[in-house]
Amino acid sequence: MVGEAVDTNPPTPRHTPPPMRIASWNVNSVRTRLDQVLTWLQQEQPELLCLQETKVADELFPHGAFEQIGYHCAISGQKAYNGVALVSRVPLEDVQVGFGALLPGDEEAAALSEQKRVISALVDGVRVLNLYVPNGSSLSSEKYPYKLAWLACLRRYLAVQEEQGDPLCMLGDFNIGPEARDLPDPARDTGGIMASPAEREALQALLGERLTDVFRVFEPERGHWSWWDYRSGAWERDQGWRIDHIYLCDQLLECATGCVIHKHTRANPQPSDHAPVVVNLAWPPEEGDGPWDDDD
C-alpha cells in the first residue's frame, strides 16, 4: 500500500545456547568395556560422561585412551569394586572426592567414603555430582542398613552443597526404582531390595523440593529401563529396571530440553548391564531466561 511503513530492520532472533550434554553410565568395568565407551563417546560427543563401577585402581585407569579422543578424566577408584569417574571434554574445576569433601568432621562420612562412590566437579558453573549408590543386596543383608546409612549421609552432604549455591546436577546409578512404573513387575518387586519403602523414603528425603527426576519430565510412561540383569534372560524379555537417574535443581530444569536412555548399548557384545542416560541442557541460559537473572 502507498505510504505504508516498511520495517527494514527486523528484530534479530534470540540466540539459543548449544546444548550441554551430560551422561551417566554404569559401565561395570571401564577396562572391560573400554572400546564400547570410546565408540559411544566418539558417536555422541557429550560434554561430560559420568561413569560408575569403573572397577579399577587409580594408577591403572586408562587415561591415555580417553585423551586420544579429546577427553580428560577425574577419577576415584579401587581395585575390582565400585569406582566413579568424570570423563570430560570441557574443563573440570574444583573436583571433590568422597563425602568428606563437604563433611570433614563427620566420622561416618569418612567411613562411608572408603568405598569409592562419590565424585563431583564444576562444569561450566554447574556442580555435577556423580554417585554409585550401594545396592543393598537384600533386606536381610548387612549391606541393607549400610545402604540406608549411605543415603542418610548423602542427605547431609547435599544440605552443605545447597548452602554453597552452585546449580546442581546429581546423577548416577541409584540402585532404587522410585515408583511402580520403574519396575518390570510392580506386584512382585515392590517392597523388595531396590524398591523397599525405606529406600524410597530415603531417596525422596534427600531430593526434597530441590531436585527433580528429569527423565520423568519428558517420559512419564512405564516400560523405560536403564538396567537389565544378566541373569534370567532379562534383556531378551525386556524386563529391566529404571535405576539410573539424573536429578536437576530448578535452575537447570528450566534449561533441560530432553533426557533419553541409550538402550541400544545393552545389545553390544559383552555389554554392561546398564545403558547410558543423557540429559540435554540449554546452558548457560541467556540473560532474562529465568528467575535467577532478576536483579532484585
pLDDT tens by residue, 43-98: 999 999 999 999 999 999 999 999 999 999 999 999 999 999 999 999 999 999 99
What is the spatial distance between Cα 112 and Cα 87, in angstroms, rounded to a whole number? Answer: 24
Asked if 172 contacts 206 with a C-beta cutoff of 8 angstroms, the reply is: no
pLDDT of amino acid 4: 46
**Apex 37 CA angle, 120 and 256, nearest 5:** 55
Longest dimension (CA), the chain: 86
Find, among 118, 125, 42, the residue nearest to 85 by Cα: 118
132 catalytic residue (yes or no): yes
Question: Which position has the grid cell 566413579?
Answer: 84
Average pLDDT across the chain, whole number: 93
Choice among 15-29, 102-116, 123-137, 225-239 with the minimum mean pLDDT: 15-29
Averaged over 242-252, what is the pLDDT? 98
pLDDT of amino acid 2: 46
Find, among 278, 248, 275, 24, the residue nearest to 131 by Cα: 24
Alpha carbon of residue 175 to chain centroid: 12
More confident: 111 or 288: 111
Q: Which of 132, 144, 157, 247 is catalytic?
A: 132
pLDDT of amino acid 7: 46
pTM of the entire structure? 0.92
Domain-wise residue ranges, the chain: 20-285
Asked if 22 contacts 86 with a C-beta cutoff of 8 angstroms, the reply is: no
Asked if 153 contacts 112 with a C-beta cutoff of 8 angstroms, the reply is: yes
pLDDT of amino acid 287: 67
What is the spatial distance between Cα 24 and Cα 50, in angstroms, rounded to a whole number? Answer: 5
pLDDT of amino acid 295: 42
Dig out the grid coordinates for 96 from the structure.
Answer: 571433590
Q: Which of 144, 173, 182, 213 is catalytic?
A: 173
Residue 249: pLDDT over 90: yes
- Give tens-digit pLDDT for 4-35: 444 445 444 444 567 899 999 999 999 999 99
289 catalytic residue (yes or no): no
Percentage of the chain exceeding pLDDT 90: 89
**For 20-285, CATH number?**
3.60.10.10
Would you say how long the chain is, in residues? 296
Averaged over 254-263, what is the pLDDT? 98
Averaged over 173-185, what is the pLDDT? 98
More confident: 288 or 103: 103
Secondary structure of 144-199 in the HEC alphabet?
HHHHHHHHHHHHHHHHHHHHHCCCEEEEEECCCCCCHHHCCCHHHHCCCCCCCHHH
Choice among 8-12, 173-177, 187-191, 251-255 with the minimum mean pLDDT: 8-12
Q: Where does the pLDDT of residue 285 fall: very low under 50, low under 70, confident under 90, or very high at 90 and above?
A: confident
Residue 296: pLDDT over 50: no
Averaged over 250-272, what is the pLDDT? 98
Kindly give the pairing relationship between strand 211-213 and strand 168-173. unpaired
pLDDT of amino acid 288: 56
